[in-house]
A = this chain, B = another copy of it.
């Protein structure tokens, strides 16, 4: 298989596949013409990576997960630990975004959004304490 077909089947852009080879995630063979010659195993690996990436794992996590996957003597505890760690990181991000969202949403609702220049959003960013001290 050439890279184009692998790209289609894995859903990953050809550029990304080449990048994954660059950083040593995959090592496809080469044809005599210099083209990458992918086998089923490579495709399978790429699909694996694609799914891990879709779950938000970093490339380094993917490297680790691939190694565990290919290691018959792995312990599922290692995988679970990695996944739980990632879960915590996701929760942290969600919490941070929700905090931002709450503040921003409040400000948006306070802003008339008309043709006048008065704007509680800018007031808040400027630290004017006008609405924060309105109690």
Please give the residue numbers on chain A whose beta carbons come within 8 Å of chain B beta carbons, in ascending order: 44, 47-48, 51-52, 54-56, 65, 68-69, 71-77, 79-81, 83-84, 86-87, 90-91, 93-94, 97-98, 100-101, 103-105, 107-108, 111-119, 121-122, 124-127
A-B contacts, 26 of them at CB < 8 A, read A44-B127, A51-B124, A55-B103, A56-B97, A56-B104, A72-B117, A74-B117, A76-B112, A76-B114, A76-B121, A79-B113, A79-B119, A80-B108, A80-B113, A81-B113, A83-B108, A83-B111, A84-B108, A86-B104, A87-B101, A90-B101, A93-B93, A94-B94, A94-B97, A94-B98, A97-B97
Please, which residues of chain B bring their CB within 8 A of the CB of A118? Answer: 76
